[in-house]
Structure 1
Amino acid sequence: MSESELLVETRGQVGRGVAQWRHWGVPLIWLTLLLLLTFGMAQLEALFRLIEPDTRQVLYHRSSLAALLGQHVFVVAVASALAILLGGSAAIAVTRPAGRDFLPLVAQLASIGQTFPPVAVLALAVPALGFGTLPIIVALLLYGLLPIVRNTLAGLSGIDPGVHEAARGMGMTGGQILRQVELPLAAPVILAGIRTSVTINIATAAIGATVGASNLGDPIISGIVNGNTAYIVQGALLIGLLAITVDSTFERLLRRPTSR
């Protein structure tokens, strides 16, 4: 390779690196801020003393904030994965010829799941499932189904019928059309539904602290019970930063299939 070709290749690599940073820079900034606050909250003790000057303890200390963040992410991830699996599968099934009669039923069931307040779901789930993480996963699962089902139905139903005809004319089977044509074309709409579902559940998961599920809702509930605003601010800050980090990540993911 000549010197000029090497220079062009180097510039190309630098350009791709800059483009990648521009694409993922915002989510990385929010993630960095989230981690800095999680592990360095003690450095802001003086600030929290301004909020609660008459309180002896202003930093939440009953559990590690890093551990609570990990539990929060785990609960939301499990509930969201189940919602994607169940909601996406149900929406795909009712858009097939054999399942079209069940489309109104699936849409209504998904709507009912979100109209039920999560607190009510927890109240009904605790007697059967006990205290802890499982009831909040059930509540988040039901609460997160509607955006996924609705957007998957909209994405698959919005594909031009001519595209299906062309795919069948090429000899593709129903499964091949779904995997290679329908899902790629509907991906931006489906991802938008998943983005909404996950972001809502990040905030909603905080109520799990009321039934013994350890997560970032612990400082908030503890602050409400003890009248400590500093605790509430700490929990709310971390939940807000986590939601913004995830939301901005989905925004970047949505740009890729849309541009393609």
Structure 2
Amino acid sequence: MSLRSSAPRVAALLLLVAFVTAPQLFSFAFEPLTANNAPAIYNQGSLLSLTLSHLRIVFLATLASTMLALALGIFVTRPSGHEFLPLSRSLVNIGQTFPPIAVLAIAVPLVGFGEKPTFIALFLYGLLPIFENTLSGLTGVSPQALDAAKGMGMSPRQRLFQVELPLALPVILAGIRLSVIISLGTATIGSTVAAKGLGEVIIAGLQSNNVAFVLQGGLVVALLAVLIHDGLGIAERVAARRSGRPLDEAR
């Protein structure tokens, strides 16, 4: 990666860190968007704390989605699990069938307000892209590579962990990247059920008709999405180079 190509990423990261740690420094940019002496910078909580809480719930939900989707993907690509593929697809499609706000409405009476219903919504919503990419990655492994591994005396378990998963990793990472980006945006609605996150800033702006607040929450989410998307894209390219698999298969 050249210095010139990495400069925008570094600049975006520095801007994000500066804004969430010292937002008052940027008040001059948001003051024109306020009216009736409303505050230019969100003042009902720490932007840094809300950003970390937002990232935390997204990370935990994506981790849980990855573990289940990866396990299901491996299972249904084994001879003993082929017949469960339709059932598995139905399960992971649940999150995409219902909009996240509907999942929250169902989850709140069961688990209460806060992070738990948001976690459930993000977990369910993130399953499909990871599951489908796991399927694509594992079924796309070259039969010649599998035959060579079998000829070397590898057991099915060894072939899975030493051949199939490493070769499928770029495609799986592409699914995880998509899941993370979806969750970053979707997590903002968690604030409607009292979950800590950047949705608080956006909702506060909508309630008070303060465009500056709405823009601040949206700006931080957008910068996070761009940086994480870019970072996971780099991880995909590294994995693709190591596996020798064309990167366009992971997209």
1:243 maps to amino acid = A
Report the counterpart of residue 148 of structure 2 in structure 1.
166
Question: How many matched pairs?
Answer: 242
- Asked if 1:97 is matched to 2:79, the reply is yes
Aligned counterpart for 2:23 among listed residues 10, 30, 41? 41
SS in 1 for 2:93: helix
Structure 1 contact 27–246 (Cα < 8 Å) conserved:
no
Q: Report the CA distance between 1:31 and its aligned residue.
A: 2.1
Aligned counterpart for 1:205 among listed residues 187, 207, 210? 187
2:185 maps to amino acid = A
Q: Report the CA distance between 1:39 and its aligned residue.
A: 1.5
Instruction: Output the CA distance in 1 between the equivalents of 2:93 and 2:119.
Output: 18
Instruction: Output the CA distance in 2 between the equivalents of 1:138 and 1:223.
Output: 26
Aligned-CA RMSD value: 1.6
Counterparts of 1:171-182 in structure 2, within 5 Å, are 171-182=153-164
Aligned counterpart for 1:254 among listed residues 236, 244, 247? 236
Q: Report the CA distance between 1:111 and its aligned residue.
A: 1.9
Aligned counterpart for 1:63 among listed residues 23, 45, 57? 45
Structure 2 contact 104–118 (Cα < 8 Å) conserved:
yes
Aligned counterpart for 1:74 among listed residues 56, 65, 71? 56
The normalised TM-score by structure 2 is 0.92
Q: Report the CA distance between 1:169 and its aligned residue.
A: 1.1
Structure 2 contact 58–122 (Cα < 8 Å) conserved:
yes
The normalised TM-score by structure 1 is 0.89
Larger radius of gyration, structure 1 or 2? 1
Aligned counterpart for 1:216 among listed residues 198, 209, 213? 198
Segments of 5+ residues of structure 1 without an aligned counterpart are 1-18
1:96 maps to amino acid = R
SS in 2 for 1:56: coil
Q: Deviations over 1:215-236 (max 9, x none)?
A: 1110101111111111100100
Moved more, 158-167 or 146-155: 158-167
2:99 maps to amino acid = P
Segments of 5+ residues of structure 2 without an aligned counterpart are 243-251
1:165 maps to amino acid = D
The structure-2 alpha-carbon separation of the partners of 1:50 and 1:226, relative to structure 1 and needing over 3 Å to count, comes to same
Moved more, 248-257 or 139-148: 248-257
